[in-house]
């Protein structure tokens, strides 16, 4: 399950951030993670891994929210630009091959904290 290894790096970012901001245990409510489509994460598997990996940490009990932005594609032949949904990697207009921008991003976008 590659969700576990990806989740490990996300959790360490979250824990670092909590330590830096001196956020006490139980105050983290939600973590929003952005992961490009090329990672092909299974949301349920990621959430499961997150719950497992945050157990007994200051992030325990918080929720993971996954945001998967659409891929930006540009057609090499006709110049069409638009959002792309895998597994279709062909131009909507002319059917030619396209160039993909992004899709491999992976980062913690936001930490939502409870009021102290
Ligand atoms: Zn095209």
| Residue 89 exposure: Cα atoms within 13 Å on the Cβ side | 11
The pTM assigned to this predicted structure is: 0.81
Domains of the chain: 2-70+103-113 (3.30.2320.50)
Q: Read off the pLDDT of residues 47-77 as tens digits, 9 standing for 90 and up.
A: 999 999 999 999 999 999 999 998 889 999 9
Ligand 1 centroid – CA 93 distance (Å)? 5
Q: How confident is the model at residue 87 (pLDDT cuts 50, 70, 90)?
A: confident
Ligand 1 centroid – CA 67 distance (Å)? 28
Ligand 1 centroid – CA 83 distance (Å)? 13
Q: How many other CB atoms are there within 10 angstroms of residue 29's CB atom?
A: 13
Ligand 1 centroid – CA 101 distance (Å)? 15
Q: Cis omega (within 30 of 0) on the bond before 5?
A: no
What pLDDT sits at residue 84?
A: 80
Four-CA torsion 27, 54, 51, 64, nearest 10 degrees: 50
What pLDDT sits at residue 6?
A: 94
What pLDDT sits at residue 100?
A: 87
Ligand 1 centroid – CA 88 distance (Å)? 13
Q: Which residue(s) pair with 108 in the sheet?
A: 33
């Amino acid at each position: 399950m590659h969700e576990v290894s990806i989740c490990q790096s996300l959790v360490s970012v979250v824990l670092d951030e909590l330590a830096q901001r001196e956020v006490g245990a139980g105050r983290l409510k939600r973590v929003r993670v952005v992961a490009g489509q090329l990672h092909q994460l299974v949301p349920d598997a990621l959430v499961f891994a997150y719950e497992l990996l945050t157990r007994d940490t200051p992030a325990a009990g918080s929720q993971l929210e996954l945001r998967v932005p659409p891929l930006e594609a540009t057609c090499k032949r006709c110049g069409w630009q638009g959002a792309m949904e895998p597994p279709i990697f062909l131009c909507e207009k002319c059917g030619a091959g396209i160039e993909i921008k992004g899709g491999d991003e992976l980062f913690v976008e936001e930490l939502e904290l409870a009021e102290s």
